[in-house]
Structure 1
Amino acid sequence: MAQIKRAIAFASLLSLGFPLVSAVAFEGAVGFGSIATGGTTSYVVTTLADSGTGTFRDAVSESGRNITFSVSGYIVLESPVSLSSDLTINGQTAPSPGIGVMAREISASGKSNIIIRNFRMRQGNEETDDTKSAFNMGDATNVILDHCSVAFGVYDSIDAVGAVNVTVSNSIIALPIGQQFGAHLETGPSTWYANLWVSAHNRQPLSKGNTQYINNIIYNYQAAYTVADTGGDFSHDIINNYFITGPSTTSASDDYYQIDDNQSVYASGNFLDSNKDGVLNGAAANTVGSAEVLSSPWYSTSLSMASLTAAEAYSYVIANAGASPRDEVDTYVVSTVESLGTEGAIITNQDSTGLSNDGYGTL
């Protein structure tokens, strides 16, 4: 039965044109979103203003653009920003200390072929609509976020209901407020690779789709990898991740949450550190609820992608995840993880961090 389910899942991806080729979005891109093509027409963001010529809002208002930045700092959004299709957002081009947005949602809803790199999205309680997420890519196609930093999400940190061909890699997804949820994806397929998930109540991610979940670090969770009640039959490759409990963790066994017998799972090389003793000393954790156990990954690239052990992934993610250079928020987030069980909290307001700029930190 497991082999049949895996074959059906694989065949369905082929029939819909899902990628079986090397990454094309940029050198080092991985996973299902790596086929995103982005934009080619140059546009330089020259001001931190919310609107007008030279602004981020104007930059993303037309499709086909390849966006760079000559300014650094926070762009304080007065209203949500809707992206166009066929965009590349090169946050790595901003002068030090980097670029980001705060206070409102960034939405790629219904759009396609979007590449976002080295970009900070910090929604927070300046958001006036509690149904909005820090980044929304509902019903989007071919999207990759790499080395991004998403914090203080209100509805979800990342919302991807109905999204197809998604990668979130080398990113920090931390400190959601409001619902206190990390990410919600439906449809898929999706790839979550080498991300740092910190201090969320649940959805790290909630994945109702065929999924690769590889080399992630999940800290101070109440529920981590989640499927929840669903009528869908999905396949999940969960490989070489490290789950680490913290002060807010009420049940270490909720590292895998609500994974029922509709699901097929290949789980290998995962570890759980549950003793909160300040030392990384976990044990193997590859039992995933009542899911049907796969003897090999459902997708062909999963094993080659899982090049790091869980312990090696911890070191790599701690050193590399998020937008570069690290700002005040990400430095704070990483420091709580490095306490290995002794620090961290699930919060309802970014001001609880005690950081500058009403908790948003200063860029």
Structure 2
Amino acid sequence: MTYLPRLLASFLALGCPLVSALAFPGAVGFGSVATGGSTPFTVTSLADSGTGTLRDAVSASGRNITFAVSGYIVLQSPLSLSSSTTINGQTAPSPGIGVMGREVSASGKSNIIIRNLRMRQGNMDSDTGKSAVNFGKATNVILDHCSVEYGIFDGIDAVGAVNVTVSNSIIALPIGQQFGAHLETGPATWYRNLWVSAHNRQPLTKANTQFINNVVYNYQAAYTVANTGGLFSHDIIGNYFIAGPRTTSASDDYFQINANQKVFASGNFLDSNKDGVLNGAAANSVGSAVVLSSPWNSGSTGLATLTAAQAFTSVLANAGASPRDQVDAFVVSTVQSLGTSGDIITNQASTGLSNNGYGNL
């Protein structure tokens, strides 16, 4: 019988541990072990709380959540998820579903699957210590085809998180600290994401990490380890770093990576000239890190199916929640300017978009 070796090989190629099933078909990386929930629950109201709301849906563990409504849910307080929860934003009628105004938190929880959800904190939230998404000390988490904008403390805060994947998502326009994502412990997989207009932390990753086929635009510091005392390994493959108007030093595509880190860097490109044309050059020299001759994780090569240029095309076409709304269209058009447009903001309203910068769903 030969099917078992082929099955094992396919799981390794996906860059994930061997599990009985993936979080969903096409899930990749360390978060693909997340089991989510199985008990059906349909969200029927856009109200902040009460029967049939998203807050009602996530109040008990084990739920598999779908949507019969579309539009924004305006949160009046942080939305706290229970363990073993699946949020299927892709089931919402057009133009899709989103939350605005407060943090979405799975802090300390396990087995969380979130797909096709727009999470936009913004300055409606008076708590500057909160992030758009909080996965602190969470275990087995996957965020896929989501849109995370206007985070105050971070876009994604995942300190102490174990087995995390963020894939096919947009992490853009953080305000407040102007940081993209902060992850510690891990392991973690960042796969085919679009990172736009942050001061730093795109991501900050103090963990064994896969960073594959991402696009980072208009950064002041992109892939960051922050001279941590921790000893971690990093597979950085097929990513495109693109300087923008607020990029003060294009060479900070890799930031604060010291000799304690081990890095396999291959196929990465940097476009530093801000001339409106995608014409970068190879960029695989990563600080003073120990250079690995092959990926630290055997699954990374199987995930890295795109060149950096192909990743640019694919990520701009597919990242974020679907269908693409006004905010994400603005983010993507900024990247398409290839160095001539983009700002690092402190208030979502400065985008000039409707609904005080949140756009309309």
TM-score bucket (shorter structure): over 0.9
The secondary structure found in structure 1 opposite 2:330 is helix
2:18, 2:184 → 1: CA distance?
A: 21
Q: Which piece of structure 1 moves more, 101-110 or 22-31?
A: 22-31
Q: Quick one: distance in 2 between partners of 1:242 and 1:203?
A: 16
- Superimposed CA distance per residue, residues 104-161 of structure 1 (whole angstroms, 9 cap, x where no aligned partner): 0000000000100000000000011000000000000000000000000000000000
Distance in 2 separating the partners of 1:23 and 1:171: 22
Please give the secondary structure, in 2, of the residue aligned with 1:190: strand
Aligned to 1:226: 224
Q: Is the aligned partner of 1:196 residue 2:194?
A: yes
Q: Which residue in the other structure is 1:140 paired with?
A: 138
Contact 1:47 1:55 in 2 (8 A): yes
Q: Is 1:344 matched up with 2:346?
A: no
Taking the aligned partners of 1:50 and 1:81, their CA distance within structure 2 comes to 9
CA drift of 1:73 comes to 0.4
Aligned match of 1:71 in 69, 72, 82? 69
Alignment of 1:115-134 (within 5 A): 115-134=113-132
Aligned-partner Cα distance in 2 for 1:334–1:354: 15
Kindly indicate whether the alpha-carbon contact (under 8 Å) linking 1:205 and 1:225 is maintained by their aligned counterparts in 2: yes
- Verify the 8 A CA contact 1:145 1:168 in the aligned structure 2: yes
Residue 161 (structure 1) aligned to one of 150, 159, 162:
159
Cα–Cα, structure 1 residues 333 and 31, in superposed 2: closer, same or farther, change >3 Å?
Answer: same
Preserved CA contact (<8 Å) 1:147 1:323: yes
In the alignment, which of 267, 279, 282 is matched to residue 281 of structure 1? 279
Identical counterparts, % of pairs: 79
Q: CA RMSD in A?
A: 0.8
Q: How far apart are 1:274 and its partner, in Å?
A: 0.4
SS at match of 1:317: helix
Q: Which residue of 2 aligns with 1:10?
A: none
In the alignment, is the contact (CA less than 8 A) between 1:23 and 1:29 conserved in 2? Answer: no
Q: Report the Cα distance in structure 1 between the residues aligned to 2:227 and 2:302, rounded to whole angstroms.
A: 31
Partners of 1:279 and 1:343 in 2: CA distance:
12
Question: What's the CA shift string for 1:219-271, capped at 9, x where partnerless?
Answer: 00000000003111000000000000000000000000000000000000000
Task: Using the TM superposition, give the Cα deviation of residue 324 of structure 1 relative to its aligned residue in structure 2, in angstroms.
Answer: 0.2
1:253 is aligned to 2:238: no
Match of 1:37 in 2: 35
Secondary structure, in 3 states, of the residue corresponding to 1:303?
Answer: helix
- 1:319 corresponds, among 317, 320, 327, to 317
Displacement of 1:22 after TM fit?
A: 8.2
SS of equivalent to 1:313 = helix
One-letter code aligned to 2:73: I
Q: 2:233 maps to what in 1?
A: 235
* Letter matched to residue 121 of structure 2: Q
- Give, in angstroms, the shift of residue 19 of structure 1: 1.6
Residue 360 of structure 2 is matched in structure 1 by 362
TM-score norm. by structure 1 comes to 0.94
Give, in whole Å, the separation in 2 of the partners of 1:330 and 1:25. 25
What SS does the aligned partner of 1:319 have?
Answer: helix
1:149: which partner in 2?
Answer: 147
Aligned to 1:90: 88
Q: Distance in 2 between matches of 1:304 and 1:199?
A: 29
Number of residues paired by the alignment? 346
